[in-house]
Chains A and B, each alone.
Chain A
Amino acid sequence: MIKYIARRLIQAIPTFFGITLLTYLLLWLAPGSVVERLYLAPNIKAETRARLAAQLGIDDPFHIQYLRWLAGDDWLRWDSDGDGIADQAFTPLVPLDEDGDGEPEPPGDNYGILRGDFGRSFVKKQPVMDVILTNLPATLELGIAAVVTSLVIGIPVGVLSAVTRGRSFDNNSRVLAVIFDAMPNFWLGYILLYVFGRLLDIVPIGGRCTANLFGECPILFERINYLILPTVVFAAGFVALFSRYVRTSTLEVLSQDYIRTARAKGLSPQVVNFRHAMRNAMIPVATLLGPIITNVWAGAIIIESVFSWPGVGRIAFTSAIQQDFPVVMGIVIFASLGTILGFLLSDILYVLIDPRIRID
C-alpha cells in the first residue's frame, strides 16, 4: 500500500507542474494587468503605472515571471557583500541594471514555490500563504458541513429509494434528485436567502459572524444559524448525487445471492438492507470523494460570494478578477493538491471497503 501511495504521488509530480505552467500561462495571456485594474485613472500618470508594474515584476517576460514564481529570484540578482545593493546577477536571464538608469535593481528576495515561498499578494501586500490560511477555516467549515450533511441524507435516501423501488418515495426522491442536481446553486441561494432571511427572518442574510467592533467570531455552535443556508445550498447537489449513486449501487447489491441468503436466514429487512447491503453499496461513494473535494473548491467560489462567506472561494474569485497572480497560483496549488490527494484517498477507500480489490 505504501509503495502504491508513493508511486501515485511521484506520478502526480509532472501533472502538478503541468497544471501550474498552464495556469500561469493562461493568467499571463489574459489582457490587462493588476496595475491597470487598480490604478486606471486620468490623474495617475502612465509613468506611475509603469513604475508600479516594474515593482511587481509583471512587465518581465513570461519565462522570467514563471521562474521567479517557481524558483524565486534570490539567485537571479543578489547582494554578495551584504551592503543591501545587488552586485551580482544571473546575466543569461536578467541584467544587473535592467532599466538602464546606472543603478542596479534591488536584490531578489523571493524563494519560490519549490522552497515553500508562495510569494506576496499584489493587491493585499501580504504573503499568499497568510491570505489563504486566513480564509481556509471558513471554507473547510462549510465544505465539511456540506459533505457530512449530504452523506447523512444522501446515503439513507439512496438505500431507501432502492428498497422501495417504484413506490412513491423512490419516485419522489428521484425527481427531487434531478431537480436539485440541475438547479444552479447561486439561484437556490438567492431564493433561500430571500425566503428564510428576508421574509421569514429566521436566519441572517449572509455572513459568518455577527458584525462587531472587535472582529470577534464566536465558536461554531453559537453562530450555527449563519451556517444553515449555505450548507443546505452546498449540500443540495451532493445529496442528489450521492442518493442516485447509492440507489443504483444498492439495487445491484440487493439482487446478489448473498442478500437472498440473508433474507432466507430470516434476518430483518433493516439488518439486510443497512448492514449487509449498505457496505457494498458504499463503494461508489468512495469513488466520489475525490471529485467531491474538487467540487467543494469550485462550488465555494459561487456559494461563498452569494452568502458573503469569507472563505478561499471568495479570494479565488476576487484575485482572478484583479489578476493577482500569486494568490491565484497559490489557490491553484491547494486545489491541485486537494484533487490529487482526493483521488488517491478514493482509491485507498475503495480498497478498504471492497475486499475483492487489492493494490499491487
Chain B
Amino acid sequence: MYKLSRVLLLLALTSLLVVGASAQEGGILIGTNFGGDPTTINPLLTNNTVDLSLTEFLFPNIYNIDPVTRAPMGGGRNDQDNGLALDWTLSDDGMVYTFTLRDDVTWNDGSPVTAHDYAFTFEALASGETSSPRGSVLQSVESVEAVDDTTLVVNLKLASCRALDELNDFGILPKHHIEPLIGGDFAEIDNLEFNKHPDVTSGVFNFGALVADEQTSMIRNDNHWMPVSPEGYILRNVPDQLVGIEQFLAGEVNSVGTAGSASVPAVRMQEFRERAEAGEFQIYEYVDDGLTFVGFNLADRSNPLDGLDEDGNPVDQGKHQFFGDIRVRQALAQAVSYVDIIEGAAEGEAVQVNSFGTPALWGYDPDIEPWEYNPDAALALLAEAGFVDHDDDSSTPLVATEDALYAEPGTEFAFELLTNSGNLVREAAGTVIQDQLGQIGIAVDFQTIEFGPLVTFLLGQDFDAIMIGFTNLAQDTDARNVFTPVGDTVGGGFNFVSYRNDRVTELYNEALSLPGCDLSERQALYHEISQILHDDVPWWWLFAPFSMYAESNAVQNWMPYAETRYANMANLAINP
C-alpha cells in the first residue's frame, strides 16, 4: 500500500511537471486572416482590424479596456494589460485630465515607456502631417503635456465626455526610437521601415516577420512584465474565407479569423454549434457591435445640400417626396416582417434592433419596443399620409393624393433601394423588403451595386434608400456625426440621410458635455435619444448580427469576451 501511494504520488508529480512544461513551452498560436496584409503596424496609422490585431499585442495604450463592460480601466496588472495609466482625474471644470502612469513598463530595448512617449505620439497626430486617420481626438483635445515620466496632463478644448475614449484611439510610439529617424519632420513617419517591421515595441510579443500575402508573425517577449505562454502568434493570410474555415477544420490553424474578428459566417454557425457540442472545437458567441439598417434620404435627392451654411444656420434642403413625411417612414417600419428578414435573410443569426446601436453598447436601451410587422397599420398610416390604392389592385403601386405632403398628386409610390453586391445577407434582406412592400402597393427597385459606387451615392446623398451596415461602433454611444446637422455635409458627412431634430441635437450635446461624465446620467440621455430615433425612423432599424469565435481544442485556458478573442493571452497554452 505504501509502495502504491509512492507510485501514485510520483505519477501525480510527473503529470504536474508535464503540464507545467507544456504550459511553459506554450506552442504557437496560428490564426487566419481574411483581410489581407496589414497596411501598417504603426499604431498611429492603423486603420483596419488586421492592423489592430497586431498592434494590440505590440504597443501600449494609455489605459486598458475592461473586456466585460468595454469601459476604460486603470489600475494594476492583469492578463491583457497593455495600458499605462494607474489612475486619472478630471478637473472640476471638466477641462483637464491628469493621468498617473506606471513606472515599470519598458520597451523591448530596455528603455522606459513614459508620458513623453504618449505626448510625442499625440504631437505627431496633431501635426496633421501624417496619414493617420485617428484625428477624432483633435476635436476635443487642445494639448498634451508630459509633466514628468509618469504624469500626463491633457488639456481639452471643450468639456467632452468622449475625450477619454478618443485619447485611447491610438497606441503609443517609442519617442526615443522614432524621433531620431524622422529628424523633426512628422511627415516622415509615413515612410518609416518601422511601419512594416516595428523593431522597438512594448507588448507581450515582439514583432517577428511579415511575408507579403502569406503570413505575419509575432514572437513572445520574454522580458514583458507578464510573459505569455505561447511562443508566438502567426496570422496566416487566407483571402478566401471558405478555404480558411477548411484549414481550421483540418487542424492546420487554431482559429477562424484574427484576434479582432470573429469570421464564422452566419450560414455555418449552426454547424459549428453542433460540432462544438460534439467536442470538436470551442466556440464563443456574442451580439456584434454593428448593425444593418436602411437609411432613408429625408431631403430632396435632386439637389443635395449641406445641413448648415457657413455661419452654422440651418439650410432648407427640401424634402424627399416620400420619406420626408414621418408617417411614411413609420408605415414602412411596420410593413415588413422582421422575422422573415432575420430568419430568412440572416439565417436566424441576428437580433432585431430598436434604434441606433446594438445590445452590445452601453447606451442602447433594451426596453424600447422595436417596430412590429403590421401591414394593416402600415396601410392606414400611408392613407393618412396621402398614398392610396386608387384602383383596388394591390399589384399596382399606391398613388399620391392631394393630401400627400411632398409628392405631387398622382405620383406612384416607387423608390430605389440600393445595397452593396456580394453581401448575401443584405441581398436577401433587400429581396424580402422588395417582396413585402410590393404586397401593399409600394414598388421597390432593388439594386445591388459595387461598394465603391454605393459609397459615392451614399455620401453624395444621391439616393432614395440605402441598406448598409456599421460595424465596430465606438464604445461611446455619441453619434452626433450621424444624427445632427454637424454631420450633414454632402460628399463626406455621415448624416447622409439629412436627419434633423433639435431635441436630439440638444440631447447629444448635453450628453457629451455632462459635468463629471457620469455614465448612468449619460445613459439616460442616450436612452431618450434612442426613443426619439426609434419613433422618427430616419433609419429603418433592422438587425445586429451574431458573431462567433471558433478556437481549436489545442488552445487551452481560452477565455474570450465580446470583441476580445484573447483576453488572457498570458495563460493560454497551445498544444503542438
| B481 and A43 contacting across the interface, CB-CB below 8 Å | yes
| A32 and B492 contacting across the interface, CB-CB below 8 Å | no
| B452 and A305 contacting across the interface, CB-CB below 8 Å | no
Residues of B within 8 A of A124 (CB): 37, 39
| B195 and A125 contacting across the interface, CB-CB below 8 Å | yes
Q: Output the nearest chain A residue to B212 by Cβ-Cβ distance.
A: A134
| B492 and A46 contacting across the interface, CB-CB below 8 Å | yes
Say whether, besides A32-B452, A217-B211, A315-B213, A308 and B133 are in contact (CB < 8 Å).
Answer: no
Partner of A190, one of B214, B242, B470: B242
List residues 213-246 of chain B with CB under 8 A from any CB of chain A. 213-215, 217, 219, 231-232, 234, 236-240, 242-243, 246
| B238 and A310 contacting across the interface, CB-CB below 8 Å | no
**Chain B proximity of A56: nearest CB distance (Å):** 8
Residues of A within 8 A of B487 (CB): 42
**Chain A proximity of B27: nearest CB distance (Å):** 11
Q: Output the nearest chain B residue to A123 by Cβ-Cβ distance.
A: B39
Interface window among A199-207, A288-296, A346-354? A199-207
In the complex, what distance in Å separates the CA atom of A48 from the CA atom of B210? 28
List residues 200-249 of chain A with CB under 8 A from any CB of chain B. 201, 204-209, 211-215, 217
Partner of B247, one of A126, A206, A310, A323: A206
In the complex, what distance in Å separates the CA atom of A209 from the CA atom of B237? 12
| A214 and B217 contacting across the interface, CB-CB below 8 Å | yes
Residues of B within 8 A of A134 (CB): 212
Q: Mark B479-500, 1 if CB is under 8 A from A, else 0.
A: 1011000010101111000000
**Chain B proximity of A137: nearest CB distance (Å):** 11
**Chain B proximity of A352: nearest CB distance (Å):** 37
Instruction: Count contacts between A and B, CB distance < 8 Å.
Output: 154
| B209 and A214 contacting across the interface, CB-CB below 8 Å | yes
| A314 and B249 contacting across the interface, CB-CB below 8 Å | no
Residues of B within 8 A of A36 (CB): 452, 455-456, 459
A198 at the binding interface (Cβ < 8 Å) = yes
Residues of B within 8 A of A2 (CB): none
**Chain A proximity of B275: nearest CB distance (Å):** 14
Say whether, besides A45-B135, A205-B243, A205-B250, A308 and B238 are in contact (CB < 8 Å).
Answer: yes
Residues of B within 8 A of A213 (CB): 28, 208-209, 217, 219, 231-232, 234
For chain A, what secondary structure do more than half of its interface residues adopt (helix, strand, loop), or is it mixed? loop
Q: Mark B330-356, 1 if CB is under 8 A from A, else 0.
A: 000000000000000000000000000
| B252 and A204 contacting across the interface, CB-CB below 8 Å | yes
Q: Mark A292-334, 1 if CB is under 8 A from B, else 0.
A: 0000000000000111101100110110000100000000000
Say whether, besides A38-B47, A212-B217, A305-B240, A48 and B133 are in contact (CB < 8 Å).
Answer: yes
A49 at the binding interface (Cβ < 8 Å) = yes
Say whether, besides A40-B455, A52-B133, A213-B234, A197 and B214 are in contact (CB < 8 Å).
Answer: no
Partner of A318, one of B36, B210, B249: B36
| B135 and A212 contacting across the interface, CB-CB below 8 Å | no
In the complex, what distance in Å separates the CA atom of A308 from the CA atom of B253? 14
List residues 171-225 of chain B with CB under 8 A from any CB of chain A. 190-191, 195-196, 208-215, 217, 219
**Chain B proximity of A314: nearest CB distance (Å):** 5
| B250 and A44 contacting across the interface, CB-CB below 8 Å | no
Q: Mark A112-143, 1 if CB is under 8 A from B, else 0.
A: 00000000000111100001001100000000
| B243 and A44 contacting across the interface, CB-CB below 8 Å | no
Most chain A CB within a 10 A radius of its CB, from B47, B195, B212, B493: B212
B366 at the binding interface (Cβ < 8 Å) = no
| A194 and B246 contacting across the interface, CB-CB below 8 Å | yes
**Chain B proximity of A339: nearest CB distance (Å):** 23
Residues of A within 8 A of B169 (CB): 43
List residues 25-68 of chain B with CB under 8 A from any CB of chain A. 28, 30, 36-37, 39-40, 47-48
In the complex, what distance in Å separates the CA atom of A198 from the CA atom of B243? 10
Partner of B456, one of A31, A38, A125: A31
Q: Output the nearest chain A residue to B216 by Cβ-Cβ distance.
A: A215
**Chain B proximity of A223: nearest CB distance (Å):** 12
Residues of B within 8 A of A307 (CB): 243
A337 at the binding interface (Cβ < 8 Å) = no
In the complex, what distance in Å separates the CA atom of A318 from the CA atom of B238? 12
| B492 and A50 contacting across the interface, CB-CB below 8 Å | yes
Residues of B within 8 A of A37 (CB): 451-452
In the complex, what distance in Å separates the CA atom of A211 from the CA atom of B247? 12
B131 at the binding interface (Cβ < 8 Å) = yes
List residues 243-287 of chain B with CB under 8 A from any CB of chain A. 243, 246-247, 249-250, 252-253
A39 at the binding interface (Cβ < 8 Å) = yes
A177 at the binding interface (Cβ < 8 Å) = no
**Chain A proximity of B237: nearest CB distance (Å):** 7
| B237 and A310 contacting across the interface, CB-CB below 8 Å | yes
A30 at the binding interface (Cβ < 8 Å) = yes
B76 at the binding interface (Cβ < 8 Å) = no
Partner of B135, one of A44, A135, A198, A209: A44
List residues 249-301 of chain A with CB under 8 A from any CB of chain B. none
Residues of A within 8 A of B36 (CB): 318
Q: Output the nearest chain B residue to A305 by Cβ-Cβ distance.
A: B239
Residues of A within 8 A of B215 (CB): 211, 215
Residues of A within 8 A of B37 (CB): 124
Residues of A within 8 A of B253 (CB): 211
Say whether, besides A39-B47, A190-B242, A305-B239, A209 and B131 are in contact (CB < 8 Å).
Answer: no
Residues of A within 8 A of B479 (CB): 42
Q: Output the nearest chain B residue to A34 by Cβ-Cβ distance.
A: B452
| B211 and A215 contacting across the interface, CB-CB below 8 Å | yes
In the complex, what distance in Å separates the CA atom of A51 from the CA atom of B135? 11
In the complex, what distance in Å separates the CA atom of A248 from the CA atom of B482? 66
In the complex, what distance in Å separates the CA atom of A343 from the CA atom of B522? 69
**Chain B proximity of A34: nearest CB distance (Å):** 10
A172 at the binding interface (Cβ < 8 Å) = no
A55 at the binding interface (Cβ < 8 Å) = yes
B474 at the binding interface (Cβ < 8 Å) = yes
Q: Could you list which residues of chain A lie within 8 angstroms of chain B, going by C-beta atoms?
A: 30-33, 36-52, 55, 123-126, 131, 134-135, 190, 193-194, 197-198, 201, 204-209, 211-215, 217, 305-308, 310-311, 314-315, 317-318, 323
- 10 residue pairs bridging A and B, Cβ less than 8 Å apart: A30-B452, A38-B48, A42-B482, A48-B133, A49-B492, A51-B128, A125-B40, A193-B246, A307-B243, A310-B211
Given contacts A308-B240, A310-B213, 16 further A-B contacts (CB under 8 A): A38-B39, A38-B133, A40-B455, A42-B474, A45-B492, A48-B135, A51-B128, A52-B133, A125-B190, A207-B214, A211-B253, A213-B208, A213-B234, A215-B208, A215-B210, A317-B239
Q: Could you list which residues of chain B lie within 8 angstroms of chain A, going by C-beta atoms?
A: 28, 30, 36-37, 39-40, 47-48, 128, 131, 133, 135-136, 139, 169, 190-191, 195-196, 208-215, 217, 219, 231-232, 234, 236-240, 242-243, 246-247, 249-250, 252-253, 451-453, 455-456, 459, 470, 472, 474, 479, 481-482, 487, 489, 491-494
Shortest 9 CB-CB contacts between residues of A and residues of B: A46-B492, A32-B452, A215-B209, A310-B213, A31-B453, A31-B456, A215-B211, A310-B214, A213-B232
